[in-house]
Structure 1
Amino acid sequence: MGIVLNQSFKNTIITYIGFGIGAINTLYLYPVFLGATYYALTNYITSAANVIMPLFAIGMQNTLVKFYSQYKTEEEREQFLSFTALFPILMCIPLGLIGIFFYDDITDFVSKENPVVREFMLLIPFIGICMAYFEIFYAWARVHMHSVFGNFIKEVGLRLLSTLALIGLYFKWISLVEFVYVTAAIYFLAFLVTMFYAFYIKKPNFQITIPENVKSVMEYTFYIILSGSVANLLLDGDKLMLNQYMKIENIAYYSVATYIALVISVPSRAMHQIVYPITAKLMHENKHDELNQLYKKTSINLQIVGGFVMLCIFVNINQLYELVPKEYSGGISVVFMIGLSKYFDLILGNNNAIIFNTKYYRMVLYLGLMLVVLTVILNMIFIPIFGIFGSAFATLLSITLYSLAKLLFVVKKLHLYPFTKQTIYSMLLTFALFLVFYFWEFPFFQLISIALKSVLVTILYLYLNYKFKISPDINGVINSIFKKIGIKI
């Protein structure tokens, strides 16, 4: 097994383990042990830190990965490593001065609806810097082909330490206020551990030098700062907006709902890791027909896999919410809204990979900036009227419009089409099974009901997809599995 395949497999396993720990924290430990107010506060602080993180990192984590291999000598590489590690410090200084100068104005603005935020304002830039340098030193390890440890820290370590902190809170070893500071300390520890691991892989020899290709580096960095800011705003910006219009507890309700809905997008990660290089190769070789076929295959395959995950979530959502405190039940509608937005994004297949490998790659950034503006405006309109449902609806509407814009761009500019008649069949099948199982509730304990209903959904979903030959690729996988276990279909 090659190093890339080996580490990709390990990273996939780590991601799912981390997601499982995160699910336990999000669905049970945070709501029960921390309570809505401090759960929301902790979530707001980390979300705000994540939004400003690209400004502190100034895109160096991506710049390091892109340009490191282009340097031919060891001396040039060491100079570039030094530049990527030290240059963000210079950028943090003016940002820090701006923050100090406008501290009172910023604090008054973000805490006008929720005064509890005021006490912890300084933790936001602190965690943001820790996140930024974690990403930089994680990239330092990745360019030396060591990605597993950093991924473990990011996906499992942070969540596992949060679990331990929550247990400490339960046994009253720490208070609610101390838990917030412990959360900041966890991010600081993750940064330190990753930094020393990166230095262990490649001993630093810091030099204050500027790379010869600094113009290309800084131009790329500028686009990465913008694209990273756009991505993080889309991920966490709605929580920041909720803080401006509603009591902070609503962020907790919203966070639980969005975490559940985000499961729908998890299956796309593994496929995109495989499809991105294939897409680039086909575009480089100008194989339009093969690329068009790949576009259709990724679309229908992701639609089936993502549709299955969405279906299991939607039909079990009422039982799932019976496991969390009753005040969180208002988030059920949010799960549907955010879930549908992720589903619409899934069915575009390798759309992003296609755009990123053309001369029009900047178009994704421009569309993303437009999406951020649209999302902010829609949140300002709908949150005061509909609360957390309004924020979810704003996300659904803006991401759907964004997805349509990307789809039309690829269709018009590149004459590539992702949809076939199987797309309609898959949607109808998913919707029909939703109608059958959503209103059918078993009179058992919630976990047993969820397990039983999920098993029935899985059997029917797989059978009907196989029977109607929605995806030849998935049918082929099913055939090979049955063949190995000696079952003839």
Structure 2
Amino acid sequence: MGLVLNQSLKNTIVTYIGFAIGGINTIYFYPYFLGSTYYALTTYILSAAAIIMPLLAFGVQNTLVKFFSQCRNDKEEAEFLSFAVLFPLVLSIPLLSLFLFFYGDISNYLSKVNPIVKDFLWFIPFIGICMAYFEIFYAWARVHMHSVFGNFVKEVGLRLFSLIALVGVYYHYITPLQFIYITAITYFLACLVTMFYAFYLKKPHFQMAIPHNVKEISVYTFYIILSGGVATLLLDIDKLMLNQYIKIENIAYYSVATYIALVISVPSKAMYQITYPITAKLMHEEKHDELDDFYKKTSINLQIVGGYVMLCIFVNINTLYEMIPEEYSGGVMVVFLTGLSKYVDLILGNNTAIIFNTKHYRTVLFLGVVVVLLTVGLNMIFIPLYGILGSAIAILLSVTLYSLAKLIFVQRRLHLYPFTKQTLYSFALTSILFLVFFFWDFPVNGIIAIALKSILVTIAYLYLNYKLAISQEINDVFDGLIQKYLKK
């Protein structure tokens, strides 16, 4: 776990820096500087681009990680990397052509309730292709065990440029409309920078050659498109469906709430960048016992870190919402429901990486498609009834069922199980501390109140986790820090 902890720690730090910048943007700059309408429009465009990204990338980012370790020499590596870069480009052309041909019909349908979106739909495929190639070049770097730089560009760089642009809107250097153009340009630049970094790590030798295992790669890629589509739809379909039923401003209110909850999944995202290639290697080498141990370690470590983040958010949520415009206050319950869905998914550890690297992955994709259809159906029922809260209910139900399906699949097919008695201890500890701190407020300034409560939660959470030895790996890290700094 040394390499995992090292790069996961760096990725977690980078990601939280990015989320801190994003938090400033989401909670303050977007609502106050950009306004709810253009904030919602920006969110809608980015969510739609994220949904089509797996299709434009054709699953190559995951295929690259899975099959790169199987290349036997430099020639096969060059062929495979060339295929990974050129294959999506060739296949994206007809898809983008179809979009342009039916642009009128698509734009009329998507702008029925909110006409403002009609003139901005062309941003969606442009940003989508930039996102797709960013992920491909990021995967190029990850297979060479360099995951931090790409994570920095994705989590910090994009949000930092947004912050600068939002300040420009505030001082009237740019208009809200120009902000959307700058956002598109920012994603293009992120793609270019990551490409140059990937090529720096491994100089490309492009060849018009087909890999020797192209059939196996193609079949896997097809199913990964479905899988990636399922995961992205579960993450972003709610924002698109809100646009079809209620006023676009509600997407802004919903986005603030879901962004706050999304912070809970940061440890999982950070660890995934390095656990994925390690999981692929263990499965390729058929090291079942090591994989089972790795599965349990990722699960409990993510539960502890993610549970801490969730706890800090939940106990401070009422105070936090007092600091933003009143019209956003309807998102408090959305934070709770969406946050729980993130926690449920997070405690499965590297479950997704295991599924992507097993020969049985096709079966679970069927379950994913069913869950997406269920999500759409639940949103169609609950959004008209409860607005943004209805969408959060739909997502919680869908993600919980999908996570349960993945858990059962891995246990039945591979005889791997992520939970131990430590899982129950961690859940009980998080629940008790929530009940202790949620109803306890400091009668001071909001930021000071959040800081004070968070400090107390941190002390109690870290101390009890350490004394109960819920995670030996995390305790080892603390012992190392104590030995290094307190016992000199």
Alignment TM-score, normalising by the size of structure 2: 0.89
After TM superposition, give the deviation of residue 312 of structure 1 in Å: 0.8
Asked if 1:398 is matched to 2:398, the reply is yes
Change in 2 beyond 3 A, CA 1:73/1:53: same
Aligned-pair distance for 1:324?
Answer: 1.6
> What one-letter code is carried by the residue in structure 1 that aligns with 2:87?
F
- Equivalent pair of 2:242/2:250 in contact (CA under 8 Å): yes
1:210–1:295 CA distance, 2 compared to 1 (3 A): closer
Aligned-pair Cα RMSD in Å? 3.1
Do structure 1's residue 264 and structure 2's residue 275 form an aligned pair? Answer: no
Rounded Cα–Cα distance in structure 2 between residues aligned with 1:236 and 1:391: 11
Counterpart position of 2:242? 242
Report what 1:42 is aligned to: 42
Choose 195-204 or 344-353, whichever is displaced more. Answer: 195-204
SS of the aligned residue for 2:239 comes to helix
Any idea what SS the aligned residue of 2:313 has? helix
1:74-113 equivalences under 5 Å are 74-113=74-113
Percent sequence identity over matched residues?
68
Distance 1:230 1:142 in 2: 23
| Structure 2 counterparts to residues 410-421 of structure 1, below 5 A | 410-421=410-421
Aligned partner letter, 1:322: E
CA–CA distance in 1 between the matches of 2:140 and 2:273? 20
1:279 and 1:291 in contact (8 A); partners too: no
Look up the match of 2:448: 448
Report what 1:30 is aligned to.
30
Q: Is 1:114–1:243's contact at 8 Å kept on the other side of the alignment? A: yes
Check if 1:220 corresponds to 2:249: no
User: CA separation of 1:447/1:224 partners in 2, compared to 1, >3 Å: closer, same or farther?
Assistant: same
Offset from partner CA, 1:304-323 (integer Å, 9 cap, x none): 33222111100100111122
Q: By how many angstroms is 1:422 displaced?
A: 4.4
In structure 1, C-alpha distance between the alignment counterparts of 2:465 and 2:208, rounded to whole Å:
59
Equivalent-residue separation in structure 2 for 1:162 and 1:338 (angstroms): 24
For 2:20, the equivalent position in structure 1 comes to 20
The count of aligned residue pairs is: 486
Change over 3 Å in CA distance of 1:451–1:84 after alignment to 2? same
The CA deviation at 1:196 is 4.0
1 CA distance for matches of 2:69 and 2:299? 33
CA contact (8 A) 1:82 1:207 kept: yes
In structure 2, the residue corresponding to 1:336 is in which secondary structure?
helix
- Structure 1 contact 280–357 (Cα < 8 Å) conserved: no
SS of residue paired to 1:192: helix
Residue 347 of structure 2 is matched in structure 1 by 347
Q: 5 Å matches for 1:167-186? A: 167-186=167-186
Q: Distance in 2 between matches of 1:420 and 1:73?
A: 41
In the alignment, structure 1 segments of 5+ residues that lack a partner are: none
Unaligned residue ranges in structure 2 (runs of 5+): none
Aligned mates of 1:71, 1:65 — CA distance in 2: 11
Seen in structure 2, the aligned counterparts of structure 1 residues 452 and 166 have a Cα distance that, compared at 3 Å, is same
The residue matched to 2:440 in structure 1 has which SS? coil
Contact 1:280 1:353 in 2 (8 A): no
**Aligned equivalents of 1:13 and 1:359: distance in 2?**
34
CA distance in structure 2 between the aligned counterparts of 1:179 and 1:443, rounded to whole angstroms: 38
Q: Is the 8 A contact 1:51 1:229 kept in 2?
A: yes
CA distance in 1, matches of 2:270, 2:249: 34
Q: For residues 122-170 of structure 1, what are the alpha-carbon distances to aligned partners after superposition, in whole Å with 9 as ceiling and x for unaligned?
A: 1111111121222233334445555444333222221111111111111
How far apart, CA to CA, are the structure 2 residues paired with 1:431 and 1:3?
32
Once structures 1 and 2 are overlaid, which stretch shifts more, 73-82 or 436-445?
A: 73-82
- Bigger Rg, which one: 1
Q: Against the structure 1 CA distance between its residues 291 and 72, is the aligned structure 2 distance closer, same or farther, given a 3 Å change threshold?
A: closer
How many angstroms does 1:402 deviate by?
Answer: 1.5
Contact persistence 1:283–1:291 (CA under 8 A)? no
> What is the aligned partner in structure 2 of residue 366 from structure 1?
366
CA 1:412/1:23 → structure 2, altered by over 3 Å: closer, same or farther? Answer: same
Q: CA deviation at 1:8?
A: 5.5
The answer on 1:155 being equivalent to 2:155 is: yes
Distance 1:125 1:274, change over 3 A: closer
Q: Tell me how far apart the structure 1 counterparts of residues 353 and 408 of structure 2 sit (CA, whole Å).
A: 15
CA separation of 1:351 and 1:26: change in aligned 2, threshold 3 A: same
